[in-house]
Amino acid sequence: MTLLNPIDVLPARTVGPVHFIAAGGSGMSGIARLYAELGIETSGSDQSDSTALQSLTRVGVTTHVGHDPANLGNAATVVISSAIRTTNVELVEARRRGLRIWHRSAALAALMSGKRAVSIAGTHGKTTTTAMTSVMLAEVGADPSYVIGGPLSTTGVSSAIGDGDAFVVEADESDGSFLQYPTEIAVITNVGADHLVNWGTPEAYADGFRAFATRPHVRHVVINIDDPGARVIAGQIADDVPHLITYGESADADVRITDVRAAGNGVTATLTYGDDHGPITLQVPGNHNLANASAAYAVGRLLGYSHDTCIMGLSRYEGTLRRFQLITDTAGIRVFDDYAHHPTEIRAALTAARRATEAGNEATGLPGRLIACFQPHLYSRTVDFSDEFGEVMTLADIAVINDICGSREDPIPGVTGQMVVDAAKRHGAKDVVYVVDKYDLPEALNDIAKPGDLIITLGCGDVTIVGPLLAPLLAQRPEARGA
């Protein structure tokens, strides 16, 4: 894969009919839904059926399971992602016909035309921050349009077209997509090394965020001053952007969080911005979610909404699927699922899980343990971060490691989940279990877990199946039956 270069796009209503290749993907499905909601003739295909593909069918998208040149129908525009290989038969046919071929970022940019575009970028945290911002704006009556990388837990959808001026998007940096959008408000949640298979070096990766923050349309930059990488960029761009707002727990943050306290399964703190000062309470746990909420709050203020209404809107946020999502609480064992797949994301998730474990111990009197079940994603990422993955696994009492979910990549000889197991042991993890087949994970976790334990599955691949498969095993325990 190579980095994308921004291109000129036409308004979305002028480019139909539109066909999406791999329409069931987390990024593609949300965009395809919006084209259909605009009344544009929309079709899509994917190699296998999925709930996302079925959801598109329900909103009027003509969907196909399997790839076939005939699936293009009368399409004028074909939308692809960076994961689509040049040999895909539908892409080959589109090129043969001379059709307009857009990357999904161009298709999204076309939808954003004429709106106040809020693009939320970062190495991690962008899905949650985008979701928080979208929910907040909806709750304050802004009726935003949005595209999020994961479905909201309350609605089960990841995108919507609203009548309001704001269009909030999760801005993907992995392939340079975030440079395509007509961004007015640019948010940077943090900057660490990732996607080096595309960017080459950490320095080039950071340069991409600088370019994102200084694009011609940008009027405001909102940036996390607590994050070392983002702080460096804030200093570098301060004289090159019209308006910069920082946020975090640092004393010099413009939007500052203090007095952080756990509150059940959520968290509470004090938020200060200028002369505005008061409590903020979230229904999701962790300091990292307070940071995400601070970014969303700054966006709300920039769009003209008051302190009180923004705080109220954020209090209504209930999460997105696969972001510290409770799967089951059975037989005294809680099972959560989280999309975290980068070492920094995993650290944040396990830190929040540790607090939830301790809170549960206080409530039940049981000496519960934190059990992390991690599935590495991508062979290249495992090569780059196996040592960091191993180190962060020491935050759990027990680490259960699965083999790598390769997704779009071909295997690399010698690169397996064992690399993470070995790294965890080097860093002093006392209890590490390697389970190669993901379908063996539910039984392994059931054998390990005791009442009071908290299990969290981690990864952006198909490890998400484990919690639902574990739940019925837990339900068969004597504790669940009251025996």
Q: Which residues are annotated as a binding site for ATP?
A: 122-128
Q: What burial letters (b/e) apply to 122-152, b meaning 16+ CB within 10 Å?
A: bbbbbbbbbbbbbbbbbbbebebbbbbbbbb
Token couple for 308: 């009180």
Question: DSSP letter string over 175-193?
Answer: TSGGGSS-EEEEEE-----
The answer for residues whose C-beta is within 8 angstroms of residue 314's C-beta and 6 or more apart is 132, 135, 136, 280, 282, 293, 296, 297
Query: Cis link prior to 242 (omega < 30° from 0)?
Result: no
Pairing of strands 116-121, 166-170: parallel
Cα dihedral across residues 360, 362, 366, 367: positive or negative = positive
Report the distance separating Cα 346 and Cα 420, nearest Å. Answer: 13
Report the distance separating Cα 216 and Cα 460, nearest Å. Answer: 33
Report the distance separating Cα 29 and Cα 13, nearest Å. Answer: 18
Cα separations in angstroms, 312 against 99, 139, 280, 315, 391:
47, 8, 8, 5, 38
Helices and strands (H and E) in the chain: how many: 16, 21
Report the distance separating Cα 226 and Cα 189, nearest Å. Answer: 10
